[in-house]
Structure 1
């Protein structure tokens, strides 16, 4: 597929083609080799310079010249381990893998913005970095991008996510916190296995784990302020192998979502006290394994307001959206670079990560035009 930009109608058709091409061949986090090859070919065909960086998957391109300011626009390129159930003619051809979060939509949008910016390259008062990020779904893809040095001299950065909750033509963001900090945990409960008919001869890990699940909810309801958003969800229980044996080991897994960093640091300590206390009372042992993910995404107020003004000028219906408990590793960029993360309406439809998820492709071209305008106007703002 060779991409050209002659008029809006042709560009829209090509960007929809890009989105469907990627949708057919989804790749999971850190496996986006074919996707990266496609992007490299499309960008090269458009004579867009690609930076030489130590990235195994994903890439950063650059448009513009000179010593002026540098703005980055970012999309994510990885898919999810979900079996698609849409029945679309361009549905995933890879069993058990699907673009169920719309990263194919994001990629088409930012690629379209790159083509539009390339057409105005000599008028840009600086440079635009086009970031196609791998492994967002792991919560750690941004780390590899930052480590590559590809954003070390960027003055402002912007990213997007499609929203099935917002109708097409609607734009949403907010100043300050937008998405939550995301952490994963595992709890291993070890007791003494026994026949179900003689539980007194063992230490019951099932009962002990059940008490832990119940008591862990007090971290939110009784140990955190009622005005601070906190979610603690146990999402997996694994224990036992037959109906008449009390197992020696039970494993729990789940996630914690927070906005307040002080509360975020305190929660694993609170959880440890609970699980160790319950385990001790039961004569069992318990261990908490904590896996930190990305922090809360905190938009810089000046740039969030700027994105809304550009969106309004572009014809979007602009909304201040509520806090979201989902996570986003774009947060790591905003810890180092001023900028903002925004939502582009592409619904209504099934929720993100649903096997029947799809986006309204009519939202692709307007979003591409928006991000091209946002990048150019941000350069002018920085230059001024």
Structure 2
């Protein structure tokens, strides 16, 4: 049992840091909403949107980020993972808390006609990463304005190649997370209301992998199929059998997905081809079931092809994209998120997020950093037409979301460092007394 003197000290510390949380949260949002500040973020987002770059090709984007950090007199290191940038705000001493934004675009032709449409044919920011960069730079600006109040160091991670190439894994390998004890990431969400945020503790996004198989038979004329060995028939049986892995081999209380998204082969309607290829994705919410599913995918493809007298090879494409782990949110940071977001946005504007089979390479950070947290920012409001989901050539960002992301990201880091100054033993005593 703590003494009355220590309990009084704990109470005073709790009051002080609670007041800091309330004041900074509201002050940061007010700052990000100022016209000059907002227009600056919008301008950054639009410049990036006009010049989209794919994974590990974000050279102009990286240069823009570095110029903005230079203008704010924020020191940084470059390059990480080819184009990545890591900035530092604060004392330069522990504790270190990180904020992350992804920088890459998608190989899509933008179909939205507007003044700042992509200037690069076949490439566009169709997932909001341009907004993520602008918001992290906004958070950096707020934090730099309060750098003398920071009780530690905020690490700003501008990461390449989230879309399928595992840029987070490369950033980690290159030392971007050195000394980092906590990290926050976010993503805009089209279907959620502007001014709301969603997340949950524990597993949030699934582990993800890809596979490609080539099924080889013997080509021939469609009029005499008995003289050929049909790889199309074999591939069709493979696809049907793969669905049974989820419907008949998986515990109904567990979540798994196997989807074949590509089937290619054949050059004429009356010719049986020599070979065909199929490719797809598989996902799960546990490491054990993920690798069990991987094993069974390979076994089923090879065995089902053999039933039809065909041969099959399976490639899990890990050289192009590593397997993504499950994205798991810290229980500790979830409580922190509820407190900070609640004070800034109102507790009614924090919504529960159901686990989804989507994947994010933020999962690599959550594997190696002691505590990690990922959340979503709503963008939809009545003044803006219904927004399309990400990875659509009609995707748009409601730029009114920018102040929310900048302020919340800044506040989460600021409050984390403030809270970290309460000695761990005292925090445990507070917890015990409650």
Tell me the TM-score normalized by structure 2. Answer: 0.85
Distance of 1:204 and 1:7 partners within structure 2: 63
Match of 1:241 among 267, 276, 292: 267
Which one of the candidate residues 370, 388, 398 is aligned to 1:350?
388
5 Å matches for 1:161-172? 161-172=187-198
SS in 1 for 2:101: strand
Q: Give the counterpart of 1:11 among 37, 54, 63.
A: 37
Cα deviation digits, residues 333-366 of structure 1 (max 9, x gap): 0111112001011125101101110111111012
Farther-moved stretch of structure 1 (89-98 vs 265-274): 265-274
Give the alignment of 1:151-170 within 5 angstroms.
Answer: 151-170=177-196
User: d(CA) in 1 for partners of 2:41 and 2:100?
Assistant: 17
Question: Which of 220, 225, 228 lines up with 1:194 in the alignment?
Answer: 220
From 205, 208, 213, the equivalent of 2:234 is 208
In structure 1, distance between residues paired with 2:407 and 2:232: 55
Q: Classify 1:6/1:242 alpha carbon distance in 2 versus 1 (closer, same or farther; 3 Å).
A: closer
What residue is the counterpart of 1:185 in the other structure?
211
Aligned to 1:283: 309
On the 8 A contact 1:139/1:294 being kept in 2, the answer is no
**Is the Cα contact below 8 Å between 1:164 and 1:352 reproduced in 2?**
yes
Contact 1:238–1:251 at 8 Å: present in 2 too? yes
1:94-145, Cα deviation, whole Å (9 max, x unpaired): 1000000000011111100000000011110001011100000024101111
Q: Are 1:300 and 2:330 an aligned pair?
A: yes
Where does residue 75 of structure 2 map in the other structure?
A: 49
**1:368 aligned to which of 384, 400, 406:** 406
1:221–1:368 CA distance, 2 compared to 1 (3 A): same
Match of 1:225 in 2: 251
CA distance in 2, matches of 1:370, 1:25: 27
Equivalent of 1:319 in 351, 364, 367: 351
Distance in 1 (CA, whole Å) between partners of 2:33 and 2:50 is 26
Counterparts of residues 53-132 of structure 1 (less than 5 Å): 53-132=79-158
Large movers: runs of 4+ above 3 Å: 52-55
Q: CA deviation at 1:383?
A: 2.2
Q: How many residues align?
A: 380
The structure that is helix-richer by fraction is 2
- Residue by residue over 1:34-85, the C-alpha shift from the partner in whole angstroms, topping out at 9 and shown as x without a partner, is 1001111111011111125544202000001153311100000000000001
Note the residue ranges of structure 2 that are not aligned, 5 or more in a row. 1-30, 381-385, 423-434
The SS at the match of 1:224 is: coil
Greater CA radius of gyration, 1 or 2? Answer: 2
Q: Distance in 2 between matches of 1:343 and 1:323?
A: 12
For residues 186 and 7 of structure 1, do their structure 2 counterparts lie closer, same or farther at Cα, with a shift above 3 Å needed? closer
- Look up the match of 1:270: 296
CA RMSD of aligned residues (A): 1.4
Q: Contact 2:32 / 2:407 at 8 angstroms: preserved in 1?
A: no
Q: TM-score, normalised by structure 1?
A: 0.96
- Equivalent residues of 2:55, 2:165 under 8 A apart: no
Instruction: Give the Cα–Cα distance (whole angstroms) in 2 for the partners of residues 109 and 349 of structure 1.
Output: 19
Q: State the shift of 1:243 in Å.
A: 1.4
Contact 1:304 1:339 in 2 (8 A): no
On the 8 A contact 2:205/2:359 being kept in 1, the answer is: yes
Q: Which of 176, 186, 193 is the matching residue for 1:150?
A: 176
Cα distance in 2 between the residues matched to 1:157 and 1:54: 17
* Aligned residue among 337, 340, 352 for 2:373: 340
